[in-house]
Each structure stands twice: as structure tokens, then as C-alpha cells.
A = this chain, B = another copy of it.
């Protein structure tokens, strides 16, 4: 017995991702993909506007293609030692908030910690995550590590993630790429846009 269904979403990969072609199975399917816009309000640092602009482009492209974007507000876990920083991240640096479909608030550096993020993603049947935001070495890295353990395949968009310390970018990326991509893959804004951009009226 056989049946007829609509064609699945366009397949392929985001070009030039390292250390492997992401997603591993070629199923780009925006409707099963979410962008996490990770932010750590109150943590120290000046964000280069370029990162925010790239994050906005990634978010807008995915949403036009049928994907979801979720703002993930993280925070320093400990209240026992004083905060090092004061000024804030993506949201407070003058470009305004990036529009997303939902917002979750975590109680740690990891966006999943004490937050409904996992259940939000499971209910939406999300399989793949694209990560943008701040800070690369802290909240973005912690969230990506946990997401990967949970079975979500992750793509870090390196030029849309603001580093706390620019000297740590190369090694932050190396850690993800270890062992053939132990936490997922790394790509760039331009290639993500290419892969997920849709013509006017084209179906997701």
C-alpha cells in the first residue's frame, strides 16, 4: 500500500559549516528549526552592533521561512559573589529588541536551567537549533552544550554571537568543533541566510 503526500521541505545543507555539513541529514526544514536569541541582561560588556545586525538577519530569515525565534534571557547563577558587570547585552545597546515568537527566562547561565525552554521546543517539535546572541563563551556555549545533550542538532552562527572577550572566539569555536563536532557545527550569517531564504510566496 502506498500513499501520496506533499513534498517535504527543501533539503540541503548550510554551506561552509565546520566541522561537518549541517544539518547532518540534510533536512533543513525551517518548521522544525528554531533560532535561539540568547541574552544575558546585566552582564558586562559593549556589544559590537555588527553582531546584533547579523542576529536580526538570521532571525528574520528563519521566521520568513516558517521557523520560530525564541528569546532566551539568562542570568548569572550565583548571588553569593558580586556581579562583575552592569551594562547589558543585545537588548540594551541601542538597536532595540529583536522581534521573536516567544521569550523564556532561565535562572542560570544555561538558557535551559530553571526555564521552560526544553518543553517549548518539544511542543513545537523542533529538531534543530540555530544560536545567536551574547555572550559566546558563557550563555551561548552553555545553552548549546545542553541542547546538544538533549538531542537538538545545533548550529552556532559565529558572526552573530558577541564574545565577552574577542581573544576567546577562536578557541570557543574550536571547542565546538572537537571530535568531529561534539557540540554541533559552526557557520556564518551569510550562509544561513542563503540556505533558508525563500522566494516571495514560496512554501517553507
Residues of chain A whose beta carbon lies under 8 Å from any beta carbon of chain B: 1-8, 20, 24-25, 43-44, 76-85, 105-110, 113-120, 122-123, 135, 137-138, 141-142, 145-146, 148-151, 153, 164-165, 167-168, 171-172, 174-175, 178-183
A15 to chain B, nearest CB (A): 19
**Contact partners of A44 in chain B: CB under 8 A:** 179
Give Cα A58–Cα B148 distance, bound, in whole angstroms: 31
Please give, as numbers and ranges, the residues of chain B lying within 8 Å of A179 by CB-CB distance. 43-44, 76, 83-85, 138, 164
Contacts of A174 in B (CB 8 A): 165, 167-168
CB atoms of A116 and B107 under 8 A apart: yes
Query: In the bound complex, do residue B3 and residue A8 qualify as a contact, i.e. CB atoms below 8 Å apart?
Result: yes
Smallest beta-carbon distance A16→chain B, Å: 18
Residue of B25, B165, B168, B175 touching A137 (CB-CB under 8 A): B175
Of B2, B113, B117, the contact of A146 (CB 8 Å cutoff): B113
> Closest 4 CB pairs between A and B?
A108-B149, A114-B116, A171-B171, A84-B180
CA distance A8 to B4 in the complex (A): 11
A180 and B108 CA atoms in complex are apart in Å by 16
Chain B residue at minimum C-beta to C-beta distance from A105: B116
Please determine whether A113 and B149 come into contact, CB atoms closer than 8 angstroms. Answer: yes
Given contacts A76-B182, A109-B183, A113-B150, 16 further A-B contacts (CB under 8 A): A2-B4, A3-B7, A78-B148, A81-B181, A84-B179, A107-B119, A107-B120, A107-B149, A109-B149, A110-B149, A114-B115, A114-B119, A119-B149, A119-B151, A137-B175, A141-B145
